[in-house]
């Protein structure tokens, strides 16, 4: 019998790693979700069940042992911000393939449960290298601008369909219209954008927070405060271009820097 060759050296991407000092994002995006939402007859312009499935997927990333600084989700995408991530030594191949798998499986299972039928939701994944903390804020602001654009287009399109236009006519009508004009169409139907859930306009943010919990020292019977961690879910992220949003992101990154550098 001939000798079996070892193909380890052919795994040409297996050593690509993100250095621990470099913050980065992993963005996972749903494949052919337009078709999927039609097929599943999801509510339009937004279906809360899809948002819940995506939020569950963000939680699953934490419970699978990853430790993103934060997770930001809207439409059919999940953004995970990492800094000093140790999981799989930050190997790019591992991160992308496992994170995309965790999200695909979790969204599929959650939607299957919520809709009472078998759903296969597939997500791709990519790494986005970020230069520093300001770049993280900039990246999130960029994704949130996309969330806002999606919101305007989905609602305006939906309103025109309800007014009797065909999808083609509605697209033609909205083509080239600026944000202000789309806002006017939505306001003409809803009065104020404030009446529409904030998460649809701004996306959903998740992060871990440390809090103090009262406990009893078993040896002395003394009351003590212990540190516990929990996942915060904000249905309606702050604007990442606002001071509030910026400060929250920078605070989470700073906390992580301290825990990484010790
Ligand atoms: Mg997509």
DSSP, collapsed to helix, strand or coil, labels residue 40 as coil
**Residue 243, pLDDT score:** 98
**Residue 10, pLDDT score:** 96
Ligand 1 centroid–CA 123 distance in Å is: 8
Ligand 1 centroid–CA 58 distance in Å is: 16
Ligand 1 centroid–CA 3 distance in Å is: 46
CA distance 88 to 100: 15
Ligand 1 centroid–CA 43 distance in Å is: 17
The structural domains of the chain, ordered by start, are 16-140+198-211 (3.30.70.3000)
Ligand 1 centroid–CA 24 distance in Å is: 20
pLDDT in tens, the chain (262 residues): 789 999 999 999 999 999 999 999 999 999 999 999 999 999 999 999 999 999 999 999 999 999 999 999 999 999 999 999 989 999 999 999 999 999 999 999 999 999 999 999 999 999 999 999 999 999 999 999 999 999 999 999 999 999 999 999 999 999 999 999 999 999 999 999 999 999 999 999 999 998 999 999 999 999 999 999 999 999 999 999 999 999 999 999 999 999 887 6
**Residue 262, pLDDT score:** 63
CA distance 96 to 102: 10
Ligand 1 centroid–CA 75 distance in Å is: 8
**Residue 259, pLDDT score:** 87
Largest CA distance in the chain: 78
**146 burial class (0-12, 13-18, 19+ CB within 10 angstroms)?**
middle
* Contacts with 110 (C-beta within 8 Å, 6 or more apart), sequence order: 52, 53, 56, 57
Ligand 1 centroid–CA 36 distance in Å is: 10
Pick the closest to residue 122 from 108, 140, 138 (CA basis): 108
Ligand 1 centroid–CA 241 distance in Å is: 24
pTM (predicted TM-score): 0.94
């Amino acid at each position: 019998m001939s000798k079996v060759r070892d193909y380890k050296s052919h795994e040409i991407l297996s050593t690509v790693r993100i250095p621990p000092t470099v913050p980065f994002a992993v963005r996972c995006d749903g494949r052919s979700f337009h078709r999927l939402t039609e097929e599943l007859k999801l509510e339009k312009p937004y279906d809360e069940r899809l948002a819940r499935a995506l939020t569950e997927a963000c939680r699953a990333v934490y419970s699978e042992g990853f430790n993103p600084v934060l997770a930001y989700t809207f439409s059919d995408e999940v953004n995970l911000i990492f800094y000093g991530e140790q999981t799989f030594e930050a190997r790019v191949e591992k991160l992308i393939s496992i994170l995309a798998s965790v999200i695909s499986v979790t969204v599929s299972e959650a939607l299957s449960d919520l809709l009472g039928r078998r759903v296969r939701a597939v997500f791709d994944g990519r790494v986005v290298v970020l230069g520093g903390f300001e770049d993280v804020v900039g990246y999130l602001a960029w994704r949130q601008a996309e969330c806002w654009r999606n919101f305007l287009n989905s609602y305006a399109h939906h309103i025109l369909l309800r007014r009797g236009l065909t999808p083609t006519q509605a697209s033609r009508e909205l083509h080239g219209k600026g944000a202000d004009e789309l806002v006017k169409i939505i306001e003409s139907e809803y009065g104020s954008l404030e009446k529409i859930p904030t998460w649809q306009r701004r996306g959903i943010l998740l992060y871990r927070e440390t809090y103090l919990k009262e406990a009893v020292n078993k040896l002395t019977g003394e009351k003590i405060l212990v540190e516990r961690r929990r996942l915060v879910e904000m249905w309606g992220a702050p604007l990442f271009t606002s001071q509030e949003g910026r400060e929250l992101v920078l605070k989470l990154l700073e906390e992580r820097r301290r825990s990484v550098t010790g």
